[in-house]
Amino acid sequence: MNSLTDRYTWAVVRSLPEAKRADIERELRASVADDVEARMAGGATEQQAEHDALVALGDPDRLAVSYADRPAYLIGPRYYFDYVRLLKLLLSFIPALAGTAAGLANAIAQQPVGAIIASVITTALMVIVHLGFWTTLVFVILERSSAAGKPLVTWEPSLLPEPPVPGRADARIELCSSLFFLIAAVVAVVWQQVASVFQDAAGDPIPVLQPELWQFWIPALFALVAAEVVFAVVQYRRGWSWGLAIANTVLSALIAIPGVLLALGDEIVNPAFVERTGWDDADTVLVPLIVVMFAGIAIWDSILGFVKARRASRVAA
Amino acid sequence: MVNDETRTAHLQELRRGTVVLACLVVLREPDYGYALLERLEQLGFAVDANTLYPLLRRLETQGLLVSDWNTDQARPRKFYRTSPDGEALAELLVADWHALTASIDKLHGGAR
Q: Tell me the shortest Cα–Cα distance from B99 to chain A, in angstroms.
A: 30
Q: CA nearest B35: which of B75, B84, B85, B87?
A: B75
pLDDT given for residue A166 in this prediction:
62
In the structure, what pLDDT confidence band is assigned to residue A114 with cuts at 50, 70 and 90?
A: confident
**Distance in angstroms (rounded) separating the CA atoms of residues A204 and A144:** 64
**Distance in angstroms (rounded) separating the CA atoms of residues A261 and A213:** 13
- Domain match, A115 and A10 both: no
State the ipTM, two decimals.
0.84
Q: Tell me the shortest Cα–Cα distance from B95 to chain A, in angstroms.
A: 28
**Residue of B52, B77, B80 to mutate, interface with A, max A Cβ within 10 Å:** B77
In the structure, what pLDDT confidence band is assigned to residue A77 with cuts at 50, 70 and 90?
A: confident
Answer yes or no: are the C-beta atoms of A54 and A5 closer than 8 Å. yes
CB–CB of B57 and A35 under 8 A?
no
Print pLDDT tens along chain B (112 aa).
Answer: 678 889 988 988 888 889 999 999 999 999 999 999 999 999 998 888 999 999 999 999 999 999 999 888 888 899 999 999 999 999 999 999 999 999 999 988 765 5
Please indicate whether residue A305 or residue A314 has the higher confidence score (pLDDT).
Answer: A305
- Domain match, A173 and A308 both: yes
- Domain match, A282 and A215 both: yes
**Residue of A27, A61, A63, A67 to mutate, interface with B, max B Cβ within 10 Å:** A27
Comparing alpha-carbon positions, the chain B residue that sits nearest to A35 is B34
Q: Residue A274 domain-assigned?
A: yes
Q: Which of residues 183-212 of A touch B (CB under 8 A)?
A: none
Q: Residue A204 domain-assigned?
A: yes
Residues of A whose CB is below 8 A from B76: 26, 30
**Distance in angstroms (rounded) separating the CA atoms of residues A100 and A77:** 35
- Domain match, A128 and A211 both: no
Q: Is residue A150's pLDDT more than 70?
A: no
Q: Write the secondary structure of A21-60 as one string of H (helix), E (strand) and C (coil).
A: HHHHHHHHHHHHHHHHHHHHHCCCCHHHHHHHHHHHHCCH
How many CA atoms, within 13 angstroms, populate the side-chain half-sphere of residue B24?
23
Comparing alpha-carbon positions, the chain A residue that sits nearest to B74 is A30
Please indicate whether residue B110 or residue A218 has the higher confidence score (pLDDT).
Answer: A218
- Domain match, A310 and A212 both: yes
DSSP sequence for B19-74: HHHHHHHHTTS-EEHHHHHHHHHHHT----HHHHHHHHHHHHHTTSEEEEEE-SSS
Answer yes or no: are the C-beta atoms of A210 and A269 closer than 8 Å. yes
Phi and psi (nearest 5°) for B14?
A: -65, -35
Stated pTM of the model:
0.55
Q: Residue A237 domain-assigned?
A: yes
Q: Is residue A148's pLDDT more than 60?
A: no
Q: Residue A163 domain-assigned?
A: no
- Domain match, A96 and A222 both: no
Residues of B whose CB is below 8 A from A27: 33, 53, 77-78
- Domain match, A41 and A134 both: no
Comparing alpha-carbon positions, the chain B residue that sits nearest to A64 is B54
Q: Is residue A194's pLDDT more than 70?
A: yes
- Domain match, A143 and A44 both: no
Q: Residue A221 domain-assigned?
A: yes
Q: Is A72 on the interface with B (CB under 8 A)?
A: no
Comparing alpha-carbon positions, the chain B residue that sits nearest to A31 is B34
Residues of A whose CB is below 8 A from B54: 63, 66-67, 69
Number of structural domains in chain A: 3
- Domain match, A141 and A180 both: no
**Residue of B38, B69, B78, B79 to mutate, interface with A, max A Cβ within 10 Å:** B78
Mean pLDDT of A307-316: 82
- Domain match, A49 and A98 both: no
**Distance in angstroms (rounded) separating the CA atoms of residues A48 and A38:** 12
Q: Is residue A101's pLDDT more than 80?
A: yes
Q: Tell me the shortest Cα–Cα distance from B97 to chain A, in angstroms.
A: 26
Among candidate residues A125, A152, A179, the one where a domain is terminated: A152
- Domain match, A58 and A134 both: no
Tell me the domains of chain B and their CATH numbers: 18-111 (1.10.10.10)
Q: Is A27 on the interface with B (CB under 8 A)?
A: yes
Top-confidence range, A136-150, A303-317, B42-56: B42-56
Cross-strand pairs, B31: B80
CB–CB of B78 and A57 under 8 A?
no
- Domain match, A57 and A131 both: no
Q: Is A104 on the interface with B (CB under 8 A)?
A: no
Average pLDDT of chain A, as a whole number? 84
Q: Is B8 exposed, middle or buried (0-12, 13-18, 19+ CB in 10 A)?
A: exposed
Among candidate residues A90, A123, A152, the one where a domain is terminated: A152
Phi and psi (nearest 5°) for B31?
A: -155, 165
CB–CB of B54 and A69 under 8 A?
yes
Comparing alpha-carbon positions, the chain B residue that sits nearest to A36 is B34
Q: Residue A233 domain-assigned?
A: yes
Size of interface A-B (CB pairs under 8 A): 55
Q: Is residue A283's pLDDT more than 80?
A: no
Q: What is the pLDDT of residues A5-34, one digit of tens each?
A: 999 999 999 988 888 888 999 999 999 999
In what side-by-side order are the strands of the sheet with B77-82? B31-32, B77-82, B65-70
CB–CB of B51 and A30 under 8 A?
no
CB–CB of B34 and A34 under 8 A?
yes
Answer yes or no: are the C-beta atoms of A24 and A71 closer than 8 Å. no
Q: Is B79 exposed, middle or buried (0-12, 13-18, 19+ CB in 10 A)?
A: middle
Expressed as residue numbers, the domain containing A48 is 4-68
Q: Residue A283 domain-assigned?
A: yes
